[in-house]
């Protein structure tokens, strides 16, 4: 006689599992039970936990079969089995990234490929889309939050969801997107920290002997440009006589004008003499400098000067390269620069993005409060 197995109930009617092993490791094998069109009991093996099968998936398949029986339609056994062996996440992601190659910029696509290969492929790459359930995604979210910033984890889940939507919208997959039911982590990462003029001077004094970092900081604090914009400045973008630079905003695909100080113009004028028209201003080993290379050089300096004692996760108060842009706008507001001028200099498309700096303006009411209270206290 064959070996008898104890079937364990789940929270779903007609869904059971037996304890099993796979590669000498504990596993679960799932079965469903239902009555066929002749009201005879039937049992169907669905698959193993190690294969990505979960209780929810089994319950969905059981309900699908029961509905087919009630309507007198063919049962979906073969179709479901074929799906499990062919429609895996790796295949869909490959199609998605081929689409991204044509319709989006290379840098954005490369970032997504890295994110997929690092965080999604090792866990879900070989799983059938039907077998990817909410509980597994929530587990991924919990595990990633232990080591990654909430914003990064949200980016991972967004990519995951986008790949599902690509499959659905292109009629490759007929199921639903489980990521729609995953709540993203709320983030309050609006940076409040900015460098005062004296702190900017302190930083410049600390990098003055490093031509690369000194010029990067000077242009960043003069134009308020994002780091990627600054690193993409070429000789042809600079007008020394007018002391301005044509800047490319990669966030919205536009160009705008930034201005530089006389000191910065003098330094740039000497540097431009050694460059060809299409050469990048910021180079390392005769190649355009990458953001990570600048970050690697600046981070120890910023941490020593401004971040001592702060948690790594304290995005609101830590000084990073993006703080330079925030400092540019904040100091303009403090000096009374009109908010619409700040909007233009930052190349903000929405004035609401710029209004966060209005509270720093001298006409924000602070001086009036001082005048009133000085006669009382």
> Is residue 3 predicted with pLDDT exceeding 60?
no
Q: Tell me the average pLDDT across 8-12.
A: 93
Map tokens 């039970």 to a residue. 33
pLDDT per residue over 128-146, tens digit each?
888 898 999 999 999 998 8
Burial 214-223 (b: 16+ CB within 10 A, else e): bbbbbbbbbb
Extract the tokens encoding 220. Answer: 């960043």
Q: How confident is the model at residue 72, as a pLDDT?
A: 74
Q: Which long-range contacts (CB under 8 A, 24 or more apart) does 364-369 make?
A: none
Sign of CA dihedral 233, 236, 238, 244: negative
CB 74 within 8 A of CB 29: no
Strands 15-22 and 25-35: antiparallel
Tell me, yes or no, if the pTM score tops 0.75: no
Rounded Cα distance between 114 and 358, Å, is 38
Phi, psi at residue 164, to the nearest 5°?
Answer: -60, -50
Q: In what order do the strands lie in the sheet with 41-48?
A: 8-9, 15-22, 25-35, 41-48
Using DSSP's 3-state secondary structure scheme, residue 4 falls into coil
Rounded Cα distance between 56 and 12, Å, is 8
Q: Tell me the average pLDDT across 255-259.
A: 95
Q: Tell me the average pLDDT across 221-231.
A: 95
CA 300-187-365 angle, 5° bins: 85
Model confidence at 50, pLDDT cuts 50, 70, 90, reads confident
R_g (Cα) of the chain, nearest Å: 29
CB 80 within 8 A of CB 45: no
DSSP, res 75: P
For the chain, domain boundaries: 8-85, 89-181, 197-308+316-367
Model confidence at 77, pLDDT cuts 50, 70, 90, reads very low
Q: Tell me the average pLDDT across 224-247.
A: 96
Using DSSP's 3-state secondary structure scheme, residue 73 falls into coil
Rounded Cα distance between 57 and 128, Å, is 11
Rounded Cα distance between 318 and 306, Å, is 7
Segment (H or E) for 46: strand 41-48
Map tokens 């919990």 to a residue. 142
Provide the CATH number for the domain formed by 89-181 in this structure. 1.10.150.130
Extract the tokens encoding 160. Answer: 């995951």
Phi, psi at residue 70, to the nearest 5°?
Answer: -65, -35
Q: How confident is the model at residue 171, as a pLDDT?
A: 82
CB 258 within 8 A of CB 247: yes
Nearest Cα residue to 261 out of 233, 242, 234? 242
Q: Tell me the average pLDDT across 95-108.
A: 75
> Is residue 75 predicted with pLDDT exceeding 80?
no
> Is residue 220 predicted with pLDDT exceeding 50?
yes
Which CA distances in Å does 163 have to 41, 57, 93, 126? Answer: 39, 20, 6, 14
CATH 3.90.1170.50, domain 197-308+316-367, yes or no: no
Rounded Cα distance between 257 and 344, Å, is 9
Rounded Cα distance between 282 and 291, Å, is 10
Rounded Cα distance between 238 and 275, Å, is 12
Model confidence at 115, pLDDT cuts 50, 70, 90, reads very high
Residue 33, strand partner residues: 43
Nearest Cα residue to 136 out of 31, 53, 64, 17? 53
Rounded Cα distance between 163 and 124, Å, is 12
């Amino acid at each position: 006689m064959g070996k008898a197995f104890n079937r364990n109930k789940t929270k779903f009617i007609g869904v059971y599992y037996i304890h099993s092993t796979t590669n000498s490791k504990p596993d679960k094998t799932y079965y469903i039970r239902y009555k066929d069109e002749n009201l005879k009991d039937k049992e169907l093996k669905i698959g193993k936990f190690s294969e990505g099968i979960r209780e929810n998936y089994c319950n969905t398949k059981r309900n699908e079969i029961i509905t087919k029986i009630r309507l007198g339609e063919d049962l979906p056994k073969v179709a479901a089995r074929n799906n499990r062996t062919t429609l895996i996440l790796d295949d869909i992601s490959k199609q998605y990234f081929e689409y991204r190659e044509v319709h989006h910029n290379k840098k954005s696509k490369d970032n997504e490929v890295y994110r997929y290969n690092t965080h999604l492929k090792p866990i879900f790459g070989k799983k059938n889309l039907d077998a990817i359930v909410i509980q597994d995604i929530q587990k991924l979210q919990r595990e990633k939050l232990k080591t990654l910033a909430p914003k990064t984890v949200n980016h991972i889940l967004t990519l995951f969801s986008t790949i599902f939507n690509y499959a659905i919208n292109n009629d490759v997959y007929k199921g639903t997107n489980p990521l729609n039911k995953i709540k993203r982590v709320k983030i309050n990462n609006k940076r409040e920290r900015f460098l005062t003029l004296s702190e900017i001077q302190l930083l410049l004094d600390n990098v003055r002997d490093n031509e690369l970092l000194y010029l990067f900081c000077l242009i960043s604090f003069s134009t308020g440009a994002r780091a990627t914009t600054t690193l993409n400045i070429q000789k042809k973008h600079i007008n020394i006589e007018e002391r301005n630079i044509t800047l490319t905003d990669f966030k919205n695909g536009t160009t705008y004008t930034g201005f530089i100080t006389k000191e910065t113009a003098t330094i740039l004028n000497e540097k431009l003499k050694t460059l060809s028209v299409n050469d990048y201003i910021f180079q390392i080993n005769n190649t355009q400098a990458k953001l990570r290379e600048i970050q690697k050089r600046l981070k120890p300096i910023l941490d020593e000067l401004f971040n001592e004692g702060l948690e790594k996760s304290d995005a609101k108060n830590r000084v990073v390269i993006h703080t330079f842009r925030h400092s540019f706008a904040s100091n303009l507001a403090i000096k009374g620069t009109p908010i619409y001028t700040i909007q233009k200099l930052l190349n903000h498309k929405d004035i609401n993005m710029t209004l966060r700096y209005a509270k720093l303006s001298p006409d924000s009411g602070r001086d009036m409060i001082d005048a009133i209270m000085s006669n009382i206290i």
